[in-house]
Amino acid sequence: MTIDEAQQQVDDWIKTYGVRYFSELTNMAILTEEVGELARIMARTYGDQSFKKSDLEKDLGDEMADVLWVLMCLANQTGVNLTEALQKNIEKKTQRDKDRHKQNPKL
């Protein structure tokens, strides 16, 4: 599935099952919540925090997909084509950082 196809599939789902999009501000708050849930799993899996029983059932991929879903909702609502935006972002980073990381002694 391409990013364009995924954005369309999210839009179709919202229009079929979700009735309508939540407001942009509500979706921004939901995105923040979903990123927090992802951070919690990352901190417990790869960081120093121990798992709680409620964390053991969480799936890292599912948490990442939740973030992606809400991000696609926001993109759809605001008219952002994520394929184009990502391509431009990669080009920007390539231009700006083409030598930066290679010259970083910390890496």
Burial class (CB within 10 angstroms; exposed 0-12, middle 13-18, buried 19+) of 27: buried
- φ, ψ of residue 11 to 5 degrees: the values are -60, -45
Q: Which of 13-17, 42-46, 65-69 bottoms out in mean pLDDT, i.e. has the lowest?
A: 42-46
Q: 7 CB contacts (<8 Å, ≥6 apart)?
A: 72, 75, 76, 81, 82
Domains within the chain, CATH numbers bracketed: 3-80 (1.10.287.1080)
Task: List the one residue out of 7, 69, 60, 8 whose CA is nearest residue 38.
Answer: 60
Q: Give pLDDT, residue 67.
A: 98
| Calpha distance 94→52 (Å, rounded) | 41
Q: Which residues are CB-contacts of 43 (< 8 A; sequence separation ≥ 6)?
A: 49
Q: Which residues lie closer than 8 Å to 22 by C-beta, 6 or more apart?
A: 30, 73
* pLDDT band at residue 82 using 50, 70 and 90 as cut-offs: very high
pTM of the model: 0.89
- Which pLDDT tens digit goes with each residue over 18-58? 999 999 999 999 999 999 999 999 999 999 988 888 777 88
